[in-house]
Amino acid sequence: MAILVTFLLPSVLLAIGNPEGGVFIADAYVFRNVLDTGDQLYFVRYDVSYDPVPDEEPKDTWQMALYTSAGDLVATRPLNYYQPNIISIYLTPSQALTWEGAHQVKIMGMPSVFPNLTEGVNMRTRTLSAGDYKEQEFLAGIMITQAKILETDWGITLLTANDKLNSTGKTFFLLAVPGLGSMVPEIFEVIVGGVEVTYKDYDQAYATSLEANAGTKLTGAISDLSNLIRVPSSWMGFWLFLIVFLIFVGIVFAGAGNPGWAFIGGFSILAMGGFLLGGSMFSLVIVLTAVVGILFGLYFILSRYA
């Protein structure tokens, strides 16, 4: 039944013809050690000249092919575009061919679409010579040169004023040469931008309004003690409530025998201090509350999972 269903499915027929303007290989280069020692990058600038451009996708009809000097097929890759453009094939160190060998790169119609492949009509072959082989240090300069040629062919801007690939150039070159950003990051335009942060200004209106809760007797007692010891009244109030907090925590711990309950009970003293004294005391209480919360969290976690 599976075979029967296969026959019943409509087949997709690609009716694309040969390119009216022909097929050409303008430049071909081989670079090595681009990502790893011993690897190879086969780069081609080609022209598959159709007028008008076919409805069929180039990835379904045309390809770049790499053959050894003995005529053995090594790898193929579908083209991304018709007309003047670029494409590449990357070989890992284990796949690499003999350096400076007379290998062949082809821009050709796919055999499944073009049953009769003819040199110069729907296929173009370039036999590599020693001059086509370049070390990695030449990759950046050659890519910029290729971008300048394509700018003329396409009539669009691919480079910045200082000869870096702009966003458009980046798109085309990374599609043609995946990993180019890691091979030669210096040819790409770098945009540095900051993150705009809006800071919130908080006032002390609420904290100041709490100062009236203490009343004249408590504030007077704190003021007298601060004058006696010669420290600011805000610090005097903080230390007084801290002492009360420690006493209360000690009492709860002595009765319950559990530090956790002692911390929880002591929080009420801190909250009362912030409510009664307000102002700077309120800020100090917030900080101390955070410290107590952290200590309680550590105790809770360590006592159960340590």
Q: Is the pLDDT of residue 9 over 60?
A: no
> Is 258 found in the same domain as 222?
yes
> Is 175 found in the same domain as 45?
yes
DSSP the chain: -HHHHHHHSPPP-------TTEEEEEEEEEEESSSSTT-EEEEEEEEEE-SSPPSS-GGGTEEEEEE-TTS-EEEEEE-S-SEEEEEEEEE-TTTPPPTT---EEEEEE-TTT-SS--BTTTEEEEE--GGGEEEGGGHHHHHHHHHHHHHHHHTS--B-TTS-B-HHHHHHHHHHSTTHHHH-GGGB-----PPP--PPPP-SHHHHHGGGGGHHHHHHHHHHHHHHHTS-HHHHHHHHHHHHHHHHHHHHHHHH--HHHHHHHHHHHHHHHHHHH-HHHHHHHHHHHHHHHHHHHHHHHHHHH-
Q: How many domains does the chain have?
A: 2
Q: Is the pLDDT of residue 134 over 50?
A: yes
The residues, ordered by sequence, that sit 6+ positions from 180 with a Cβ below 8 Å of its Cβ are 143, 173, 174, 187
> Is 50 found in the same domain as 148?
yes
211-225 pLDDT per residue, tens: 666 666 676 677 777
> Is 31 found in the same domain as 180?
yes
pLDDT for position 97: 98
> Is 238 found in the same domain as 173?
no
> Is 92 found in the same domain as 29?
yes
59-116 pLDDT per residue, tens: 999 999 999 999 999 999 999 999 999 999 999 999 999 999 999 999 999 999 999 9
Distance set, CA 278 to CA 138, 149, 211, 243, 285 (Å):
70, 73, 5, 18, 9
Q: Give the range among 14-23, 92-101, 295-304 with minimum mean pLDDT.
A: 295-304
> Is 173 found in the same domain as 26?
yes
Q: What is the mean pLDDT of residues 293-299?
A: 72
- Domain end, chosen from 152, 187, 222, is at 187
Domain that holds residue 294: 207-305
pLDDT for position 244: 78
